[in-house]
Structure 1
Amino acid sequence: MQTIRKREGFEGQRAIVLPKKILEVCGYTPPVNALYITDIGFYPRAAYHYRERPNGISQNILIYCTEGKGWLEVPTGTYNVSPNEFLIIPADMPHKYGADEKSPWTIHWVHFKGLQAPYFGALLSRQFKEFVSYSPFLDDRIRIFDSIFKALESGYSLDNLTYSNISFAYLLASFSFPEKFASAHHTLEKDAVDTSIEYMQHHLDVSLTLEQMASAINLSVSHYSSIFRKKTGYSPVVYFNHLKIQHACQYLQFTTLRINEISVKVGIEDPYYFSRMFTKIMGISPQEYRNKKG
């Protein structure tokens, strides 16, 4: 059970909670099962942000504060958190944390699991002796975080999961070994599938046919479907539905919109069909998701 003092979101916030079925895939698929993200987000100036979990949770938690202040309470004591400090909470450890009332923190946060998660937790906390540590601000670290978020935001293909979670290990290394952290990153030219996914993301509020998706990048339906499935492991329609449900999760988590209103916002006119699709993909109903994350 967790207690949250503020239900509303924070202006500019972003968050992704991976579906249960995707996490099951992560749990048994090498190399992802070594270390994988379950939740990830960014909360700017998160006034009244507060979490209390008397029994902890099954994931490890990393929170990186870039501005403002916050605090952490674990069984070993209470710690203040300042800019350019990160906190690590091992799985199953009881904890509380929150934003400073006068200067609320801006945070990048990740929940993670995996076979190697305990090792990374021990590394980041110096064998569970330091739960809050300083690490100098590095632009490249934020760029890696953003690239991980963007990859997961683009869907849950095995390529995206593998890339984001291998990158996540690199992100964790930037906190443990900041002096050794490399900063070489290159922007790659988008291919047809990347362009199609970007097109989908810009049209989440409407219903697109397979023909419309293929036409948008000037390919035949058969060729488009073939290259899309080859790269992502999913058909374009299934992938598009995953993006819609991911977007719906944001509305459920950060707004008070009714479920039928959210359904319309993600281009699904029939709220009952939306609820069935949501439940199939996320493993729980929209209302259960809102209650769980609210």
Structure 2
Amino acid sequence: MDTIIYNPPLIETPLDIFIHSAGITSRKSQQYAQASPFYNICYYIRGNGTHARNGARALPYGPGTVAVGEPGIHYTRIPRDSDSIDAQWINFTGPKADEIFSRYNTPAPHLFFAGNDVEYLRYFTMIFRALKAGTPDDTLSACAMLLPLIVETLRRKKAARRTTAPDEVNAFTAFCRKRLHETELPLDEFLARHRLSYESFRKKFRRDTGVAPRDYWLMAKLSEAKRLLKSTGLPVETISGKVGIEPPAYFSRLFRKKEGVTPTEFRERDIV
């Protein structure tokens, strides 16, 4: 995944909300401790570690975790050794942001688990697409789309029963990502290692992510396939093997069924 950063010009807007920067970060994760002048919503695609707000007890983050930041509040992120990070984020300010946070925000938890929720992630996709276009009208559209993202984020944050993904959920998502090349998910191995029964783990995983364990594994495979299609020139046949969905003809049929386009069409179309 490539790093993409948008710095839209500040424009006069009746919405009273301003996007200062946004983007997709992909890099070696580094520890940081800072207080930002902006509100921030950050969705972690990859990477694990701990995250603390104003020196409070550090909470674990992992793929699918959303962190919410507020101006002037000190945050510390400590990545797990050797972990890289992929994340989507938006920095913003404005009277309307102040009003929404004043009405809906709860100080704790500052993290919650969204999983691979397509509807939630669509907000980021649409905002980034507008920012990429770069015109004043598109920037205004991005600010307008930010408003429902903020409200939905704070709603989920308030409703979160847990401060982040349960340990078993984070462990399983990491387990899956290390085995994307395998054709069969060694779920029994994971369950034995963590002393879990299949039925109890399936219910817990589905409750916290909205999908079954095997469905998540397939989603992770397709996510990696999309990354390879966009960031490399590897043939579709090679990508099919790298994500363990073979033969290539089956991979292409499955990809089209899930994504609505063939792998080649996905590679060629211009999307964020």
**TM-score with structure 1 setting the length:** 0.47
Give 1:51's match in structure 2, choosing from 21, 32, 35. 32
Give 1:142's match in structure 2, choosing from 121, 142, 160. 121
For 1:148 and 1:162, locate their aligned partners in 2 and report how far apart those are by CA, in whole Å.
10
The aligned residue for residue 45 of structure 2 is: 66
CA gap 1:14/1:99 in 2 versus in 1, 3 angstroms = farther
SS of match in other structure, 1:77: coil
Q: How many residues align?
A: 155
The one-letter code sitting in structure 2 at the alignment partner of 1:39 is: S
SS of match in other structure, 1:116: helix
Is residue 99 of structure 2 the alignment partner of residue 109 of structure 1? no
Is residue 23 of structure 2 the alignment partner of residue 41 of structure 1? yes
TM-superposition CA deviations, 1:219-255 (whole Å, max 9, x none): xxxxxxxxxxxxxxxxxxxxxxxxxxxxxxxxxxxxx
SS of match in other structure, 1:110: strand
1:1-294 maps to which residues of 2 (within 5 A)?
12-18=2-8, 22-23=9-10, 25-26=11-12, 29-31=13-15, 33=16, 35-44=17-26, 46-53=27-34, 56-75=35-54, 76-121=56-101, 126-157=105-136, 159-177=137-155
Q: Shift of residue 91 of structure 1? A: 0.2
RMSD: 2.4
**Structure 1 portions without partners, runs of 5+:** 1-10, 179-294
CA gap 1:122/1:132 in 2 versus in 1, 3 angstroms = farther
In the alignment, is the contact (CA less than 8 A) between 1:84 and 1:135 conserved in 2? yes
SS of match in other structure, 1:96: strand
**Structure 2 portions without partners, runs of 5+:** 157-272
For 1:78 and 1:122, locate their aligned partners in 2 and report how far apart those are by CA, in whole Å.
24
The aligned residue for residue 249 of structure 1 is: none
The one-letter code sitting in structure 2 at the alignment partner of 1:41 is: G
For 1:98 and 1:137, locate their aligned partners in 2 and report how far apart those are by CA, in whole Å.
23
**TM-score with structure 2 setting the length:** 0.50
